Chain A
Amino acid sequence: MFDDFFIRALFAGIGVAFVTGPLGCFVVWRRLSYFGDTLAHSALLGVTIAFSLEFNIALSVFISSSVIALFLIQLQKKTNLPGDALLGLLAHSSLAVGLVAIGFLSFIRFDIMGLLFGDILAVNVNDLLIIWIGGAFILLVLKLIWKPLFASTVNYELAEAEGLNPDRAKAIFTLLMAAIIAISIKMIGLLLITGMLIIPAAFARNISDSPKGMVIFSIIGGLLSVFIGLFSSLNFNTPSGPSIIMAALILFIISLFKIKQSIKLKN
């Protein structure tokens, strides 16, 4: 069954959508979209390291993104620069370092476009295993830290005062972000992963009035995007990542007409 590249891509996409749905909600709630971008950009460095050391790509990306995240936390403590400036600094410099490193590795053939925008042809059975096992693990951990993470998203001091240890939940969540980027980079590409996190969640926000509802709609939105995106990618011979994100965008636009009157923001 997994002999066909398209079936493989479809299952990879389904696996990714199940994970980006709930994680994406937290990205939107906690205003982490730039943070996600930064981690994704730094993934290029991880890919380069993986190629040069003949190392597993997903693991290498996970490590490099985690290191960048830790580095960011250190920078936030040590400098007076605003958070978005630090994020931009890290995002673009890690992208640049990654591209320069690729330049040095001229003996390896790189599919840069595939890295940036995803390539369904590149997904093999091994990647599928990583996505499904890694994805299940991410969801399991997210379920375990849901309470403190969600409570501190609503109000940090309440969570801290009532003994939920929000700092630990935040640190674990950062690692989960690095992990989802690592497992979905082949599928969607590093420039578009954040789109897969944010757009289905934004779509879900428009049509849901409870946190759990938003998570469920976010997963549904992600799954629909993967189906529509991959089928159109196959039909029109377009790159898989952008096709999936475009499908998500169309869903979001449709959801704009559906914003429930009762849940519209007061201000």
Chain B
Amino acid sequence: MRTEENILVKLKNAGIKQNDKWLVKGVSLEVEKGKIVTLIGPNGSGKSTTAKIALGIYKEFEGTVEKFTNKIGYVPQKISIDWTLPLRVADFMVLTDDLDKGDINEALALTGVDHLIDKNLGNLSGGEFQRVLLARAISRKPELLVLDEPVQGVDFTGEIALYQLIKKISEKLNCGILLISHDLHTVMSATDHVVCLNGHVCCSGSPIDVAKDKEYKALFGEQASQTLSIYEHKHDHVHSNDGDIKQKN
């Protein structure tokens, strides 16, 4: 269902220029309620920059950004927290919003780190911290989630579980998700729309369309293209643990 009122954020020909050099140029995309839009592309292709334009972190940019929601959850790619601040996970969870204990615990439990609630943020491992970041973003029950490589540093099984969680959240909260990832395998199975960036939008569409695109193949290689196609079929069935194929309910 593509209706105007379902759109949460809309970028039109957005770009940003720094010292006469375009960091990213001519990006048009929109994120709708309940849909996952994934930005892919090599390093320095402008994925994080695009996300920050959409979020309003950058004030000076070309093109237009229309935002139709203020309930946003953000997981930044890099976060440097100054450890002169005594900050526990519990304090971090209520950083931008007042939440009750139940919501905090629920979100932490979803990402598997509820046992860390009284730990100091500086004592967490990279993967634990990443899970806390994701929990914080979803605990606010946002309408728009912007996730910039949300599973970096998370162990392999955790990674898959977190991607499944992200998919589940988008359905449960009916929120739109702008996802940035390098991991073509896991992401593609859950993505509704892929935008492939390389300083500009080189192609976009459903995962299967993007996989067939010549520019995509040139950027990621033949194998990546096959990866996408393989995962595309996952939309209509699921694999159970014993290898059976079941129809998705």
Contact = CB atoms under 8 A, between A and B. Distances in A.
A215 to B, nearest CB: 10
Given A159-B95, A162-B96, 14 more contacts: A29-B84, A147-B96, A151-B95, A153-B85, A154-B85, A157-B55, A157-B76, A158-B79, A161-B56, A163-B72, A209-B88, A210-B91, A211-B91, A265-B122
A154 B120 CA distance: 14
Nearest to B92: A154
B70 interface: yes
Interface in B46-102: 52, 55-57, 70, 72-74, 76, 79-88, 90-92, 95-98
The 8 closest A-B pairs by CB, nearest first: A161-B74, A161-B55, A162-B96, A163-B70, A151-B95, A209-B86, A151-B96, A160-B57
A244 to B, nearest CB: 24
A205 interface: yes
A246 B88 CA distance: 31
A150 B98 CA distance: 13
A263 B79 contact: no
Range class of the B interface residue count: 20 to 34
A263 B92 CA distance: 16
A239 B41 CA distance: 65
Interface in A133-179: 147, 150-151, 153-155, 157-164
Contacts of A262: 120
Nearest to A207: B86
B36 to A, nearest CB: 18
21 contacts: A29-B85, A31-B84, A151-B96, A153-B82, A154-B85, A154-B87, A155-B79, A157-B57, A157-B76, A160-B56, A161-B52, A161-B146, A162-B72, A162-B73, A162-B74, A162-B96, A162-B140, A210-B91, A211-B86, A212-B91, A265-B83
A144 to B, nearest CB: 14
Interface centre among B87, B97, B146 (most CB of A within 10 A): B87
Contacts of B123: 266
Contact of A214 (B55, B86, B90, B92): B86
B85 A266 contact: no
Contacts of A265: 83, 122
Contacts of A29: 82, 84-85
A28 interface: yes
Interface of A: 28-29, 31, 147, 150-151, 153-155, 157-164, 205, 208-214, 262-263, 265-267
Nearest to B146: A161
B180 to A, nearest CB: 14
Contact of A160 (B55, B80, B88): B55
Contacts of A210: 86-88, 90-91
A210 B140 CA distance: 21
B86 A164 contact: no
A211 B87 contact: yes
Contacts of B87: 154, 210-211
A208 B86 contact: yes
Contacts of A209: 86, 88, 120
Nearest to B133: A158
Contacts of B80: 155
Given A209-B120, A265-B122, A266-B123, A158 B95 contact: yes
A263 B120 contact: yes
A28 B123 CA distance: 21
B10 to A, nearest CB: 17
Nearest to B124: A266
A142 B74 CA distance: 25
Contacts of A28: 84
A159 B81 CA distance: 13
B149 to A, nearest CB: 14
A178 B120 CA distance: 33
Contacts of A208: 86
